[in-house]
């Protein structure tokens, strides 16, 4: 009888440990660099720090041009299909913009299934 109770309790505890509720641990970086008088390079880096796969990640990079009155409206420059990063896998995303003004870029990483924000970082270049 005691064994049955312990077995049922152990199964209930294991069933309650849903690992999908753990937010992914990511190492992220965004770099904005002027590569010429009219070109700006934006590089985003996302790396999984867990030893297991992540939930599907929705990565988005937006760019805002510098204007006399502040920053312009954001434009989506990188938006791949949601992807899963496996054990310690990383992904680099790069684009080049043609502009003579400064640019501020924002990296946003969300869980694709639930829409929860994981990371939001900003970088700029003049």
56 or 4, which is more confident: 56
Which residues fall within 8 angstroms of residue 48, CB to CB, at 6 or more apart? 24, 25, 26, 54, 85, 86, 87, 88, 89, 90
Tell me: pLDDT of 19 over 60.
Answer: no
pLDDT at 125 over 90: no
Q: Which fold has domain 22-125?
A: Immunoglobulin-like (2.60.40)
* pLDDT at 120 > cutoff 70: yes
pLDDT value for 126: 80
CB 44 within 8 A of CB 78: yes
Domain ranges of the chain: 22-125
What band does 7 get if pLDDT is binned at 50, 70 and 90? Answer: confident
pLDDT of residue 74 exceeding 90: yes
Output the pLDDT for position 60: 96
Residue 15 has pLDDT above 90, yes or no: no
The tokens for 22 are 């753990």
Q: What is the pTM of this model?
A: 0.80
| Cα angle value 13/18/21 (rounded, 5°) | 140
Say yes or no to pLDDT of 1 above 80: no
Across all residues in the chain, what is the average pLDDT? 89
């Amino acid at each position: 009888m005691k064994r049955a109770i312990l077995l049922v309790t152990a199964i209930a505890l294991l069933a309650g440990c849903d690992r999908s509720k753990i937010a992914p641990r990511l190492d992220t970086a965004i770099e904005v660099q002027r590569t010429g008088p009219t070109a700006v390079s934006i590089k985003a880096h996302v790396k999984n720090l867990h030893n297991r796969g992540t939930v599907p990640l929705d990565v988005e990079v937006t760019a805002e041009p510098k204007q006399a009155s502040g920053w312009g409206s954001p434009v989506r420059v990188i938006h791949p299909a949601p992807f899963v990063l496996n054990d310690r896998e990383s992904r680099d995303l790069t684009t080049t913009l043609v502009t003579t003004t400064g640019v501020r870029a924002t990296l946003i990483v969300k869980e694709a299934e639930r829409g929860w924000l994981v990371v939001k970082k900003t970088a700029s270049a003049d």
